Amino acid sequence: MDSETRIARLALDAQTQPRLADVPPGLYTKQVPFHELDGSYSLRTQDRAEIWVSMGGEPGNPPHAVVPVRNVGNGPARITEVRFYAKGRGADGAALNPVLPAGELTTVSVGGEAGDEGWVA
C-alpha cells in the first residue's frame, strides 16, 4: 500500500470511528414521574448525565452503579466489555445497549447480587 492510499485510509477510519465519552450535565434531560410522600405523582426533571451509585447494605439490595455514556464518534459503537475498578479490584459490568449508534446515549452498570461476598461495601 503506497503512502497516499495509507493516509486516505487512516483519514476515512478517523471519520467513521465510534468514540465513547461522558454525558455533559444539563444537555440531556427528561421528565420522569415521581411518587410524592402523600401518594400523588408529579413530574421531575432528570438529568441523564447523573451517575447513580447505591451502597446497598439492605438484604436483597446489593451495591450497584450506573454510568451514562454517549457515542460522540461518527460510526456505531459496539460495546463488548465493561469493567469497573475501585480500590485495586475490578468487576465486570454490562451496557444497556451494546450497539450504540452515533450521537446516542446508553448506560453501563455494575452491581452485585444478593449473597455476593465480593460486594461488601
- Asked whether the predicted pLDDT for residue 49 surpasses 60, the reply is yes
C-alpha cell read off for 121: 461495601
Taking residues 28-52, report their average pLDDT. 91
Position 44, amino acid: R
**Domain around 40:** 3-119
Q: How many CB atoms lie within 10 A of CB 30?
A: 10
The CA distance from 22 to 29, in Å, is 15
- Cβ neighbors of 110 (< 8 A, separation 6 or more) are 64, 65, 82, 84, 91, 92, 93, 94
* DSSP symbol at 110: E
86: pLDDT confidence band, cut at 50, 70 and 90?
confident
User: Where does the pLDDT of residue 84 fall: very low under 50, low under 70, confident under 90, or very high at 90 and above?
Assistant: confident
DSSP 8-state code for residue 14: H
Residue 114 to residues 52, 65, 92, 118, Cα–Cα distance (Å):
19, 15, 16, 11
Question: Residue 97: pLDDT band by 50, 70, 90 thresholds?
Answer: very high
Q: How many distinct structural domains can be found in the chain?
A: 1
Mean pLDDT over residues 80-104, rounded? 88
> What pTM does this model have?
0.70
